[in-house]
């Protein structure tokens, strides 16, 4: 039987668990200069120009945001930070999708909502509707190029540069909220090949989708149930308890608390929480964002010191785009070093084995990132 | 503040999502002769004796099951397959736990049920009960040593040997069901360091826990909802549709179907499903288990050929221990090659990006594992 090649990205729903995945064949085309699995930072492969360095602006799609010298032209030199669409996107704006989609064509997205289509299996003999659902892979996939310098470790970025990164996240969340097709923006950073980075030049990514993804939905639901049961925000309770208890505290600033996660999936997993309640990162004031950036730098310096330059990710969990301020949700960052390799137990059950008690990890990190 | 070192394993529940993890400090002591991240099979590190080879039976805890020459003594040579408790367990029998548990001591497990305790944070001033819950890390963690020969690739096991592996899974599920503390047994296999294997000698593992883990619970719930809505088993519908459609079929035998997962988390992810309904692997007849073993070998040979010896996991999803036969659930194996590294997007959202369309992957695998 013939296989019609899928080219455009597509959301597909697991018919049993309901878990959504993205099938994105173009992702396989991206350059992987960090290929290899050293669980440490690595420079780019030899001989390949870095597409994120100044002078190579032609190698990325047109910038959608930048911090630039006054008078410098978009997509030219003179920038301190650039945000560009990902050249090898996991999701695409609707206008970039083929008019006829090879595998389905039926999946339709209406502003603000989803209308999944059944997968049109051929010859199913009319027994029953197909159990399969998919949607066009609509969305935006952006790259935040964090510095003109070819630095691979964000802990080495100057303070004003890392502040601009966290301010850029806020700018993009505000801008992406203007697109009614998008429901959520995932802001994240991969450091090191083992953590999924494919290029060594410091960057973050933003993937905005018409779906609120599973883990964020689980957080919203779990926090909603906690709020219904207790009348309180579970994250506010975590902040209060961790400050009183102290054993998992890694670092603290006037507005933020960094703790090892009580039930982290990886050893040395850290959560950075605002002490005051707020569900929307976009609503954080500039000086507060700058304070957060400084604390994140301290935290990743601590991880570098304790784990000898590990690969890690950080990601933002914030309310869906265009949410009202929510009493039960509380934005935060999670920092997840790749301290172990999930195996069959983890992939098969969703239950992670963490070999370092969070209290032990916090004691080491406290010593390594003094205030 | 002093840190009391956690020694015994412990289940901890994420207070926001409800996700359980296992904190198991002893796991960090295990030997990692496969350390390094080549995404391929690797021999054991030089100079270290393999604890799974004959003559090293003293290096494992006492066997709980074996296929042996008649008259040979337990824990001595003469075996073709051994099942032993893991020397570095993620969970432990209640009798092996310290009488006083260092961090809590309150978590109690009653036969057949859970009674989580609050985390006894000190000095919380009585504001509100702690948001943290944990349980003693009770359970069994076993290793199935699949062959006396130091073979690292299960595709190279002789047919009768791989049949014995799948029969051993059945034996252990039946035996573990006799312990009323245990609710679920996770049967899985890690091949290659990138897939979490720490030793190169062919083995599987079984982790039995007092909890039904998240992904299995999601499958049970999702399949239950589908059954309520349609009156049918979702897995039976998948089998029927995939056979009629054909695009994702990898291989087929009289009783089984291997397909690439419609919404796999990794490229080339394969599900192996019995064609006939059945929720309990333990209820499969011997010849049917032998047929499954032969198909699994064909499938991993196909993966080896197409992906050049990838790291992968396989795992069994079956009904909880002591379940009645369930109309809505259907046991199956999932085979998950490590074709990409999950990054911040996947860890932060639970949404996986798969860069190879399952239809493309199936066409390649069909060609590589002819019947």
Q: Read off the pLDDT of residues B78-87 as tens digits, 9 standing for 90 and up.
A: 999 999 999 9
Tens digits of residue pLDDT in A122-137: 333 445 689 999 999 9
Q: Are A273 and A235 in contact (CB under 8 A)?
A: yes
pLDDT at A34 over 60: no
pLDDT at A63 over 70: yes
Decide if A345 and B5 are in contact by the 8 Å CB cutoff: no
pLDDT at A340 over 60: yes
> Chain A 176-205, CB below 8 Å of chain B: which residues?
186, 188-190, 193-197, 205
B207: chain A residues, CB-CB within 8 Å? 345, 349
Best B241, B272, B312, B367 member to test A by mutation, with max A CBs in 10 Å, is B241
A28: chain B residues, CB-CB within 8 Å? 355-356
Chain B CB within 8 Å of residue A343 CB:
yes
Average pLDDT over residues A192-197: 88
Calpha distance A45→B28 (Å, rounded): 32
Percentage of the residues of chain A whose pLDDT score is greater than 90: 76
> Chain A 203-222, CB below 8 Å of chain B: which residues?
205, 207, 209, 211, 213-216, 218-219, 222
Which of the residues of A are catalytic?
203
Q: List the single residue in A123, A238, A261 with the smallest CB-CB distance to B131.
A: A238
More confident call, A97 vs B231: B231
pTM of the predicted protein model: 0.90
Calpha distance A349→B320 (Å, rounded): 12
Decide if B313 and A344 are in contact by the 8 Å CB cutoff: yes
Chain B CB within 8 Å of residue A269 CB:
no
Calpha distance B117→B119 (Å, rounded): 6
Tens digits of residue pLDDT in A147-156: 999 998 999 9
More confident call, B144 vs A30: B144
B121: chain A residues, CB-CB within 8 Å? 241, 244-245, 247
Shortest Cα distance from A124 to chain B (angstroms)?
A: 5
Shortest Cα distance from B46 to chain A (angstroms)?
A: 20
Tens digits of residue pLDDT in B314-341: 999 999 999 999 999 999 999 999 998 8
Percentage of the residues of chain A whose pLDDT score is greater than 70: 84
The pLDDT assigned to A118 comes to 45
**Sorting pLDDT into bands at 50, 70 and 90, what band is B129?**
confident
Percentage of the residues of chain B whose pLDDT score is greater than 70: 84
The pLDDT assigned to B121 comes to 40
The pLDDT assigned to B237 comes to 97
B246: chain A residues, CB-CB within 8 Å? 1, 123
Tell me the Ramachandran region of residue B265: left when phi exceeds 0, alpha when psi lies from -120 to 50, beta otherwise: alpha
Tens digits of residue pLDDT in B67-110: 999 999 999 999 999 999 999 899 999 888 876 543 343 344 44
Tens digits of residue pLDDT in B235-261: 999 999 999 999 999 999 999 999 999
pLDDT at A37 over 60: no
pLDDT at A220 over 90: yes
A26: chain B residues, CB-CB within 8 Å? 355
Residues 6 or more apart in contact with residue A70 via CB below 8 angstroms? none
Best A347, A352, A365 member to test B by mutation, with max B CBs in 10 Å, is A347
B245: chain A residues, CB-CB within 8 Å? 121-124
Decide if B316 and A348 are in contact by the 8 Å CB cutoff: yes
The pLDDT assigned to B47 comes to 53
Calpha distance A15→A235 (Å, rounded): 32
Q: Which of B41, B141, B201, B203 is catalytic?
A: B203
pLDDT at A15 over 80: yes
Closest CA to A211 of A351, A87, A349, A90: A90
Beta sheet of A133-136, edge-to-edge order:
A117-118, A133-136, A10-13, A20-23, B352-354
Residue A219's closest chain B neighbor by CA?
A: B17
Beta sheet of B20-23, edge-to-edge order:
A352-354, B20-23, B10-13, B133-136, B117-118
Tens digits of residue pLDDT in B148-183: 999 989 999 999 999 999 999 999 999 999 999 999
Average pLDDT over residues A277-292: 98
Shortest Cα distance from A25 to chain B (angstroms)?
A: 4
* Three-class DSSP category at B68: strand
Q: List the single residue in B6, B237, B350 with the smallest CB-CB distance to A131.
A: B237
> Chain A 101-130, CB below 8 Å of chain B: which residues?
103, 119, 121-125, 127-128, 130
Chain B CB within 8 Å of residue A146 CB:
no
Shortest Cα distance from A73 to chain B (angstroms)?
A: 31
Tokens of B268: 């080339």
Chain CA centroid to CA A250, Å: 22
pLDDT at A39 over 60: no
The pLDDT assigned to B82 comes to 98
Alpha helix stretches (DSSP H) within B253-369: 286-307, 344-349, 358-368
Calpha distance A68→B107 (Å, rounded): 57
Q: List the single residue in A213, A313, A360 with the smallest CB-CB distance to B344.
A: A313
B334: chain A residues, CB-CB within 8 Å? 348
Average pLDDT, chain B: 87
Decide if A350 and B19 are in contact by the 8 Å CB cutoff: yes
């Amino acid at each position: 039987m013939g296989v019609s090649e899928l080219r455009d990205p597509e959301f597909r729903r697991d018919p049993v668990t309901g878990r959504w995945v993205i099938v994105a064949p173009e992702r396989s085309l991206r350059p992987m200069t960090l290929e290899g699995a050293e669980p440490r930072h690595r420079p780019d492969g030899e001989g390949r120009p870095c597409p994120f360095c100044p002078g190579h602006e032609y190698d990325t799609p047109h910038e959608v945001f930048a911090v630039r010298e006054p008078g410098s032209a978009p997509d030219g030199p003179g920038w301190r930070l650039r945000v560009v669409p990902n050249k090898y996107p996991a999701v695409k704006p609707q206008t970039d999708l083929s008019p006829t989609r090879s595998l389905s064509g039926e999946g339709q997205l209406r502003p603000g909502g989803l209308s999944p289509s059944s997968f049109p299996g051929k010859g199913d003999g009319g027994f029953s509707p197909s159990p399969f659902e998919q949607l066009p892979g609509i969305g935006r996939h952006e790259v935040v190029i964090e510095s003109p310098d070819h630095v691979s470790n964000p802990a080495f970025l100057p303070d004003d540069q890392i502040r601009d990164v966290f301010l850029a996240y806020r700018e993009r969340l505000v801008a992406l909220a203007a697109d009614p097709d998008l429901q959520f923006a995932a802001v994240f950073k991969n450091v090191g090949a083992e953590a999924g980075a494919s290029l060594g030049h410091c960057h973050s990514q933003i993937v905005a989708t018409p779906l609120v993804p599973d883990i964020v939905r689980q957080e919203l639901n779990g926090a909603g149930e906690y709020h219904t049961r207790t009348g309180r925000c579970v994250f506010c309770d975590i902040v209060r308890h961790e400050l009183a208890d102290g054993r998992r505290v890694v670092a603290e600033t006037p507005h933020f608390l960094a703790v090892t996660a009580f039930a982290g999936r990886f050893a040395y997993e850290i959560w950075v929480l605002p002490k005051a309640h707020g569900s929307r990162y976009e609503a954080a004031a500039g000086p507060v964002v700058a304070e957060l950036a400084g604390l994140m730098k301290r935290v990743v310096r601590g991880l570098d010191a304790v784990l000898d330059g590990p690969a890690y990710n950080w990601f933002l969990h914030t309310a869906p785009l265009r949410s009202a301020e929510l009493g039960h949700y509380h934005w935060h960052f999670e920092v997840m070093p790749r301290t172990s390799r999930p195996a069959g137990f983890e992939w098969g059950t969703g239950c992670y084995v963490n070999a370092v008690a969070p209290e032990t990890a916090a004691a080491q990190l406290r010593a390594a990132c003094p205030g």
